[in-house]
Chains A and B, each alone.
Chain A
């Protein structure tokens, strides 16, 4: 009886936890359609005014274009560099390897404000601060660890006999990499691309420091937030949420998490979810 009571209490409590986590997201969705400027109860009526205002604001449109323009090369570069780092960590033994991996994985644990200040002072020294390049460079630094972690997880599932067989058949290391390893990692590469694109699309703090006049979408939101009450924030937030969930859903489908679930007892889906998580948890 006691135990069952405890169990019900646990479930109710867990329900409240999820309510706490999801409430701000849900509220933002609801208020993005609320006619009242001020987010309060009771709701005033249904309107799409805020969405209309958002998607005709030239600053928002420009920011959106810039975010897309930055996130695609960021995702490409992070995925390539992340693959190189993950493969080195997987295949080679060398002195200082743990230092190497630490250097690759550390950036998300550095507070964004510090990264922002470091990037600003350093990049302005080489005349890059205030340019779109500065945002691109900083975002690759932040996103690369996520790509590396995801691809490393996939490599861990690879039977090393595959590569040895390829070498025995006189394929060069480069050929082995191209014809054996890369195809094996294909899904995780696509997943890493989409996740790192999402990381770049959501990052605001470092971009705020280094972007100058070249605002990205989240930097634009921060500027709105510094201004005043603005339901436009809810509209942008909801639109971005919908599109990044879409990206991530595709990413998860590609990463083969569905298949992995059916695999062995200790499902790799869980560490993969962990890798997804650190995502914005640490950078945002």
Chain B
């Protein structure tokens, strides 16, 4: 039986394995390899040089882009988590199952509209003569500059991540044993205390995983910082695009990409540890 099992699994195992190795893992490894290559007369030449790494990592503009991207992604994770938590609580605890299912379906809807189109649409809301400022002037308030700022980028990131984060949080919260909340109530814990000492610790994995999703999405996105954030100062993804599209400097762009991947891996491992680590 055992030898039979091992023989017959290859026809099924090999095609997806070979495909992902050839077209997913190899391209990423190749990025690492070309980060040591050089560009001669606009052509890529195999080489073994550290000058691309040296070039990128010694520039203050790279590190300011790095810091800016980190700050924006962290901001997106915090803002998205805080914005979606009340909604997720409401959906998980106060509405009927039927309403919750309907709400969850509405949360899925945005994934079938182009993110590009939604970002373009936000321009109409946030521009100086846009919808938000028109509404503000109706109630007699001054217009606010919103487009082409970090605020604009954050609006885009939240647009991208909020539905997913709300879904993750709602599912996490809905799995909490109601008896524990009842017990807290019977033991005379107020709503605030119940929230912070019963619900949030139990929902920690979904809160952290949701925040991680928001972080990853924001960290790699180039659409919001370009079309809502104004493109300056650049983020790492802007840097990759500029370096790739102008001047064929793929090895330098590869350096940025490798740094981004390493950052995401370290952040994800830390977040997973935080989410599922032993509670003290």
Q: Which residues of A contact B (CB under 8 A)?
A: 2-3, 6-7, 10-11, 13-14, 17-18, 20-25, 27-28, 31, 39-41, 80-82, 84-85, 87-88, 91-92, 94, 100, 103-104, 106-107, 109-115, 117-123, 125, 137-138, 140-141, 144, 148, 173-174, 198, 202, 204-205, 209, 218, 221-222, 225, 233-234, 236-237, 240-241, 244-245, 248, 261, 269-270, 273-274, 276-282, 284
* B134, closest chain A residue (CB): A41
Chain B interface, >50% SS class: helix
Instruction: Check B114–A18 contact: CB distance below 8 A.
Output: no
How close is A204's CB to chain B, nearest CB, in angstroms? 6
The answer to whether B121 has its CB under 8 Å from any CB of chain A is: yes
The answer to whether B36 has its CB under 8 Å from any CB of chain A is: no
Interface residues of B in 86-105 (CB under 8 A from A): 86-87, 89-91, 94-95, 101, 103-105
Having A6-B191, A117-B250, one finds 19 other A-B pairs with CB under 8 Å, namely: A7-B94, A10-B89, A14-B87, A24-B121, A25-B110, A27-B124, A39-B123, A84-B13, A88-B9, A92-B13, A103-B20, A103-B24, A111-B216, A113-B220, A114-B261, A119-B27, A204-B114, A241-B114, A284-B115
As a 0/1 sequence over residues 232 to 245 of chain B, the CB contacts with chain A under 8 angstroms (1 = contact) are 00000100110010
Asked whether A121 and B34 contact (CB < 8 A) given A14-B90, A81-B16, A241-B114, the answer is yes
Asked whether A118 and B31 contact (CB < 8 A) given A137-B23, A237-B113, the answer is yes
* B24, closest chain A residue (CB): A141
> B167 contacts which chain A residues (CB < 8 A)?
273-274, 277
Q: Which of B26, B86, B114 has the most CB of A within 10 A?
A: B114
* B91, closest chain A residue (CB): A14
Asked whether A113 and B237 contact (CB < 8 A) given A2-B191, A39-B123, the answer is yes
How close is B206's CB to chain A, nearest CB, in angstroms? 11
Instruction: Check A122–B27 contact: CB distance below 8 A.
Output: yes
Interface residues of B in 175-222 (CB under 8 A from A): 191, 213, 216-217, 219-222
Instruction: Check A40–B130 contact: CB distance below 8 A.
Output: yes
Asked whether A121 and B171 contact (CB < 8 A) given A25-B109, A40-B131, A81-B16, the answer is no
